[in-house]
Structure 1
Amino acid sequence: MEGQNNTKDEAKSCLKPQVAVVVVPFPAQGHLNQLLHLSNLITSYGLPVHYAGSASHNRQAKLRLHGWDSQSSSKVHFHDFQLPPYSSPPPNPDPSIQFPAHLQPLFDTSLHLRQPVNQLLHQLSTNFRRIIVIHDCLMASVVQDVKLIPNAEAYAFIPISAFTSFFNSWDRIPDKPFQLDSDIPKCIPSTDGCSTQEIANFIANQRKCLGFESGRLYNTSMVIEGRYIELLKKLSKKSEIKHFAVGPLNPVEIENKSEKQQHMCLKWLDKQMKDSVIYVSFGSTTTMTDEQIMELATGLEKSEQKFIWVLRRADIGDVFKGGEDRKPQLPEGYEERMEDRGMVVREWAPQLEILAHPSIGGYMSHCGWNSCMESISIGVPMAAWPMHSDQPKNAILVTEVLRIGTLVRDWTQHAELVMSTTIENALRRLMASKEGEEMRKRAAELGDVVRASVAKGGASRLEIDSFISYITRC
């Protein structure tokens, strides 16, 4: 690995005042979060980081960040740009396509950041010997002018798993350039129902703008997905593009907060037995139908498992603006009946702290990549219930490749209602069976390996050290 012998301290001392990093996130929670984690990580090497996004989404990213001390993000320079007005409709739960189509106006409007970002890059380029632009791959058109700045380099950030990224690319190639090993999963979920045509067109247009980048960064670790990173390198048309697996980006050692600072659900977890609680959360872009919520509530009740259930509607384009605030409805008297066995949280929850709590024994998840990496790095097995986007392929990675989880439903039935009996069976399998206990053991062992990878000399630390050494090279 190029530069892997450079230590973190050496990277800090090598021309650090002469290199500035500009981070350009895509304005959806899972993307904002990963790149703010990365920004904090890079500042720990003494490099200045400029986080360039809309004012409201920068605020959202800072407000929802967990796992870092308050001083970390204070070292990041936030550039709060204004977006033109855009519609911010409420989510429309659709059982056939659960992709958050209501966010499309935001995604389209975010492309207007091209001009202010370009101005920022030109301004910084006069003050630093080299400008490093790390952009979400879905913001490629916003930063495309970087190729016109002589002392700037771009690095595309891949916010999904290497497994999903590889198969997304593989599926687009009609004449396969090589054969895959026989033990690589063959039944990869189709993209049917994963997204709308509008977002598919948006992604295709961003992909057309790629090609100017010097490298790609992945929020994954070689100890998790090294095989698929190597396949992506093999598939790349440009051998000079560098690939860095710098994850997990989320902190892996979560400090306990004082009782006054603790979220109420953590106080409740303190009273529960080890590995006895299932955490249920479907991320920031999922809205279930009322009927599906009722089935889930019934499944949780019938399973007789203790639970923390984060029950929220999906984010709207600007989470700080008003709008429809219709709370998801539960069966009458449900929360009173479940008072001793479960807790329903209707607000943003500190997911990292919840997953790291000793009482958590499993996670029922939509399998967004943020959530997968957090669960994997902490060592919590998953009940995989994918909803859209990259989630169906991530679910296969978790259940078939890493073998640290169980599928709640097969993607071929994605448009169908998931019945309470199916949910009950999945919960019992994960939380109260020998099979689930084996998953929990494998998850804990993988978590240990992943946490070791970010320590000095570990695979992920070497990757980020190598990246920092490369961008600060003389």
Structure 2
Amino acid sequence: MAVEGSEMAMKPTVVLYPMSGVGHLLPMVELAKLFLRHDFAVAVVLMQFPIKHPSLDSFISSVSAAHPSISFHQLPPPDDSFIASVSTTFPSIPMTFDGVRPNNHELLRFLAAHRRENDVRAVVLDFLCTVALDVVVAELDIPAYFFIATGASALASMLYFPSLELTDPGLGELADTPFHFPGLPPIPASDMPREVMDPASESCECFVNKIAPRLPDGDAFLINSFELLEAEAVKALREGACLPGRRMPKIYCIGPLITEGSRGKDETKAECMAWLDAQPRDSVVFLCFGSMGSFSVEQLKQIAVGLERSGQRFLWVVGIPKDPPTATSELDLDVLLPEGFLERTKQRGMVAKSWAPQVEVLNHGSVGCFVSHCGWNSTLEAISAGVAIVAWPLYAEQRMNKVFLVEQMKLAVVMEGYDREMVEADEVEAKVRWVMESEGGRELRRRAAAAKEMAAEAWSERGSSRQAWLDLVKTLKLKI
């Protein structure tokens, strides 16, 4: 942990308060780096949370080594019974809310002490940390900004969702009934986040009454997106259409915030990049489904069969399945995948266990297509690299991201069957062939290449994200 010195105490300071998930922490760290470039001291406060990704500590250590000016502070456990008191199943909305709330007392102690020695100008809260808002604003009267780690379209839906006034039957019984949000394409009920599909559920009640209504109480939204990518959603947000009857905080689209590079297993990284170097340009299908993406063994076999039949080159990241055949956590690809698959495809395919350097892979010239779970970080990484997406959403808001990518941005095609128990091998084969071989696929890839130019333009000298960032800096009274 960094020690604040007299030099740091003289600088304007921001405090960042991310969720503990890697997908939330990564873009928040990129935000911290932006503040550092404008002579801002940055403290990242890490809450205690019942679920902790195994790579979290190593990621923080690597960031601290590369950027010692970013000061990380771990809050102490609220009490001895904290972990036992909160469900440690897959993070649900109530579990997230109940996991953040016990940290409020320690957060208050930290902020009160920190601002006695530092010029704290603002606290940037993860958008799921609305329960910490009263600590920052009511108790300490510090400006509070919400960092939106997902896109402007997702924010528009979150803000407007309580206005839908859902009644039984819940979304789960409405199948493909479209829901209409300002600035967004119609979203089928089946593509809404499953946790809010039942208005009688604890998850829906928590989101509608405890999280979404508090978001407008922040001073501004810092969105990890850029205006040209989500122009209609940004317009709806700025005009207040997503918050009928309420004040709309200021919008700063400051994305895409992309990690500098993947930090992980150096040996795996070297193997992946060496293999890609040997492949023709735009020839490789890259399959990766995020840090929490998981399939059944049978689904892994269907993917393998589809890839083999397709005849396409591929780099496939295989994680631990939902139903491993043995209790060990060690991945045995020969057991998980069809007999002889690895040998038969070794001339045109590479299978990586659990991890690959995604940012570097997407930016490699041999990659022509990305089969993705549509997590927002992965989405922005693909867009910034100019790689077409095959959308295979798995959880959280990923199905909505699929709708935005396919219907509005025109940067993805759907892997049919994602919403059923099994995506068949025939669909895997057909979809990767379509992207890599057909005229429609070539047009999709041309649009992806154009989106890459737009992403770069956003942070050019006169780009929208750069101008939004400089406006934010000015608001916080920083010297540029």
Q: TM-score, normalised by structure 1?
A: 0.82
CA-to-partner distance for each residue in 1:31-84, whole Å, 9 max, x for gaps? 121211211222121211111114796994463489x99865322100122444
2:3 corresponds in structure 1 to none
**Offset of residue 299 of structure 1:** 0.9
1:4 corresponds in structure 2 to none
Report the Cα distance in structure 1 between the residues aligned to 2:356 and 2:250, rounded to whole angstroms.
Answer: 36
1:9 corresponds in structure 2 to none
Report the Cα distance in structure 1 between the residues aligned to 2:202 and 2:295, rounded to whole angstroms.
Answer: 21
1:472 and 2:477 equivalent? Answer: yes
Identity, % of aligned positions: 25
SS for the counterpart of 2:462 is coil
Unaligned residue ranges in structure 1 (runs of 5+): 1-14, 92-99, 316-322
Report the Cα distance in structure 2 between the residues aligned to 1:407 and 1:451, rounded to whole angstroms.
Answer: 26
Which of these residues, 273, 279, 290, is aligned with residue 297 of structure 2?
A: 290
Report the Cα distance in structure 1 between the residues aligned to 2:45 and 2:140, rounded to whole angstroms.
Answer: 20
**Offset of residue 173 of structure 1:** 1.9
1:11 corresponds in structure 2 to none
Distance 1:208 1:193, change over 3 A: closer
1:127 and 2:124 equivalent? Answer: no
Distance 1:112 1:421, change over 3 A: same
1:25 and 2:30 equivalent? Answer: no
1:54-453 equivalences in 2 (<5 Å):
54=47, 60-61=55-56, 63-64=58-59, 73-83=67-77, 84-86=82-84, 100-101=90-91, 108-150=98-140, 152-174=142-164, 185-191=185-191, 194-195=194-195, 197=201, 199-204=203-208, 205-233=210-238, 234=240, 235-236=242-243, 237-239=245-247, 241-251=249-259, 262-313=269-320, 325=329, 327=331, 329-409=336-416, 414-453=419-458
SS for the counterpart of 2:221 is strand
CA-to-partner distance for each residue in 1:362-397, whole Å, 9 max, x for gaps? 100010111111111111110001112111111122
1:456-471 equivalences in 2 (<5 Å):
456-471=461-476
Report the Cα distance in structure 1 between the residues aligned to 2:115 and 2:458, rounded to whole angstroms.
Answer: 34
Distance 1:420 1:395, change over 3 A: same
Q: Is the CA contact 2:159–2:213 (under 8 Å) kept in the aligned structure 1?
A: no
**Offset of residue 151 of structure 1:** 5.0
- Equivalenced residues, count: 437
Distance 1:147 1:214, change over 3 A: same
Report the Cα distance in structure 2 between the residues aligned to 1:219 and 1:175, rounded to whole angstroms.
Answer: 28
1:47 corresponds in structure 2 to 40
Report the Cα distance in structure 1 between the residues aligned to 2:38 and 2:57, rounded to whole angstroms.
Answer: 20
User: Greater relative contact order (Cα 8 A, min sep 6): structure 1 or 2?
Assistant: 1
Distance 1:69 1:87, change over 3 A: closer
Q: Is the CA contact 2:150–2:224 (under 8 Å) kept in the aligned structure 1?
A: yes
Q: Is the CA contact 1:31–1:159 (under 8 Å) kept in the aligned structure 2?
A: yes
Report the Cα distance in structure 1 between the residues aligned to 2:293 and 2:308, rounded to whole angstroms.
Answer: 22
Q: Is the CA contact 1:87–1:106 (under 8 Å) kept in the aligned structure 2?
A: no
Q: Is the CA contact 2:159–2:215 (under 8 Å) kept in the aligned structure 1?
A: no
**Offset of residue 263 of structure 1:** 2.7
The range that moved more, 230-239 or 383-392, is 230-239
2:170 corresponds in structure 1 to none
Q: TM-score, normalised by structure 2?
A: 0.81
1:38 corresponds in structure 2 to 31
Give the partner amino acid of 2:329: D
Report the Cα distance in structure 1 between the residues aligned to 2:126 and 2:406, rounded to whole angstroms.
Answer: 27
SS for the counterpart of 1:382 is strand
CA-to-partner distance for each residue in 1:201-245, whole Å, 9 max, x for gaps? 554433344443111111000121122112122223544621100
Report the Cα distance in structure 2 between the residues aligned to 1:339 and 1:87, rounded to whole angstroms.
Answer: 48
Give the partner amino acid of 2:18: P
Q: Is the CA contact 2:191–2:400 (under 8 Å) kept in the aligned structure 1?
A: no
Distance 1:16 1:47, change over 3 A: farther
Report the Cα distance in structure 2 between the residues aligned to 1:50 and 1:156, rounded to whole angstroms.
Answer: 16
Report the Cα distance in structure 1 between the residues aligned to 2:54 and 2:13, rounded to whole angstroms.
Answer: 22
2:5 corresponds in structure 1 to none
Report the Cα distance in structure 1 between the residues aligned to 2:387 and 2:9, rounded to whole angstroms.
Answer: 38
Unaligned residue ranges in structure 2 (runs of 5+): 1-7, 167-179
SS for the counterpart of 1:146 is helix
